[in-house]
Amino acid sequence: MAFYRRLSIRSQLSFIAVSIAAVMLFIIMITYIQMSGIIGSNNDQYTKDMMAQIKQTVYSNKDVIDRLMTNIAYNNDVQNYLTEPDIVQIYEYSKRISSLFINMRTLKEGILDIVIHGEDGRWYDLYGGKKWTGPFASMISPKDAIHYFGLQNFGDAYQTENGILVGMKIKSFQSGDRFNSVIGTLFFVIDPTALIGESGSITNQLATESFLVDRDNKIISSSNPEEVGSEMDVTIANETSPGKPRNMTVNGQTYVVQTEDLPEISSMIVSMIPVAELLRDIQKIRKLELAVFIFGAIIMFALFMLIINNVLLPLKKLMSFISNIKRGDLKKLKNRIHLQGYAEITVMSNELNSMLDEVDNLTHQLLETNAMLYEAELEKNKSELSFLRSQINPHFLYNTLEMIKGMAAVKGVNEIREIAKSLGQIFRYSIKGGDMVSLRTEMGIIESYMYIQQIRFGDRFRVRYEVSGEALDCQIPKMILQPIVENAVFHGLETKDEQGTLVIRSVVNEKMELVITVEDDGLGITPGRLEYIRNALTERRQDIRNRDDAQATSIGLANVNNRIKLTFGSAYGLEIDSTVGEGTQIQLVMPARGTLNV
């Protein structure tokens, strides 16, 4: 998003236009995919229903054919014709089975021929089918039921060139040695319409090409009668699963192919619909959507150019005017700009003209006050020089303290020597080193300071240190405790009549915060004064520097509080609590950071 904000307005508008176009194309694409999916799903369901109807028709016709064949196979005249040894009786039986066969043909339309082959070589057919069916007799196992051989070519023997051959073994049901033994083979030669019905019955309104295909991949029935007897593309049978539609390319055209197995007749139903035909109507919708999109894009482009001319051209003039001003040409500083365009650019040009007028006025004022500022700067330099001359070299003071300590040691005045030693440590600590020190180092300076004060005040107060070892290793800002301890001594304990106690304690709490407490049992602070100090802790440092002497006692606390907040953040700092006559407690809170974390 930051990168986008840094782009030019033209780039941002172009990005928006491209994004809108992409979103519109995405919507069109998603709509097309959804509608295609719905149409495909409806077609799949329709095809399944159609195949189920075809399957029901085929099995219904198969049941009729199976019953007719069973009736013939177990007819007494047929059984006797195949087993009777007497030639005269055989002739009589042949006349009877001829009538039987003719009657059976009338019961089911599409039966082209009925043929019987006996095991001993005798045979009988209606229309000469013996020469076609003979080779198939040995292909039927005695254990098989009715066997469908699929589509066979019978030449010009019947009204149609292709027919379906169906056969079954005839078993004897007469008692005796030959009971349940095979005595012959029965064949039906049937027209494909006897199974599937007329070719139009497997055609739907979506130009679906439907086929009934046998085990040898020959087309038994088709919506196109000219295709009957030809071979179906083997990839259709090999690469499809029954009941699962699949897109396949056949002869350069993509089809949605769906199959359904008919294992009882060793065949399958194949449905093929061209994808282009299936999506023909939705293609029209897509073309209409694309035309609307192109028309909308032209309108958007015209609006885009209008916005560019109305927005960017005035901006370019404004940027050119500002660039001329930046070159510092005094003559061009007198020029003014007047833009015609949208409301905002007009306001900007007017405000810029007002700003340039104000710059002219300020320039004149600056020239008038320049001499005054120069004089003030000279006076300031003189004051700083006087201040520097009044300063005492810190090394000179430190060397003087060392000299006093040495003289006290020579004279045997140990108190003066220890005081000078402690004061030298404090002075050297304050002017050397970094801004952060360990609490252990800071406590050493506090002990030196308290030694000086106890020499000064004698037994007026006692000092107790309660500092944990974990707290001693924490890093704190340098010289942050001395102002607190000094306030406790001078404002709390010095004016107390009886002996007082000063306690300095420090712990690391469960929040990993270093908490330092300076507590005295001195005179305490009045509520009004306490409220004033607490308010001073919330004020900024520069607001405190100009306080008078009566208010200066809170400066040290405020400085400590500011240093903690500046170093560690506003969540940390100093808190004060006091009760008149009971004492004062000051608490410093900061993160418990070791040397490696600073």
pLDDT 10s digits, 550-572? 355 567 788 888 888 888 888 89
Q: Which long-range contacts (CB under 8 A, 24 or more apart) does 63-66 make?
A: 64/107, 64/108, 65/108, 65/111, 65/146, 65/166, 65/188, 65/190, 65/194, 65/195, 66/146
Where on the phi/psi map is residue 148: left (φ > 0), alpha (ψ -120 to 50), or beta?
A: beta
pLDDT value at position 407?
66
**If you average pLDDT over every residue of the chain, what do you get?**
78
pLDDT tens-digit series, residues 493-534: 888 888 889 999 999 999 999 999 999 998 889 999 999 988
User: Across the strands, what pairs with 211?
Assistant: 222, 270
- DSSP character for 279? T
| Model pLDDT, residue 271 | 83
> Mind listing the pLDDT tens digit for each residue in 263-301?
888 888 888 888 777 777 777 777 888 888 888 888 888
227-243 residue pLDDT tens: 787 877 777 767 777 77
Please, how many CA atoms are within 13 Å of residue 169, restricted to the half-sphere of its CB?
16
Torsion sign across C-alpha atoms 222, 225, 227, 230: positive
Regarding pTM above 0.75, the answer is no
Q: Are strands 182-190 and 162-171 parallel, antiparallel or unpaired?
A: antiparallel
Which amino acid appears at position 494 of this protein? Answer: E
Domains defined along the chain, listed by start: 47-277 (3.30.450.20), 295-391 (no CATH), 462-597 (3.30.565.10)
Residue 200 is predicted with a pLDDT of 44
What is the pLDDT averaged over residues 122-131? Answer: 87
